[in-house]
Amino acid sequence: MVEIVIDEDACVGCGSCVDDCPNEVYQMNEEKAKTEVIKAEDCMACLSCHEICPSQAMEHQDIHVAKRLYIDRKVSDVLNKII
Binding site for another protein (CB under 8 A): 22-23, 39, 41-42, 44-48, 50-51, 63-70, 72-73
CB of 72 to ligand SF4, least distance (A): 25
CA distance linking residue 1 with residue 61, whole number of Å: 9
48 lies in the site for ligand SF4, by CB under 6 A: yes
The widest CA-to-CA distance across the chain, in whole angstroms, is 47
3-state secondary structure of 80: helix
Q: Which of 5, 25, 27, 41 binds ligand SF4 (CB under 6 A)?
A: 25
46 lies in the site for ligand SF4, by CB under 6 A: yes
14 lies in the site for ligand SF4, by CB under 6 A: yes
Cβ–Cβ < 8 Å for 7, 66: no
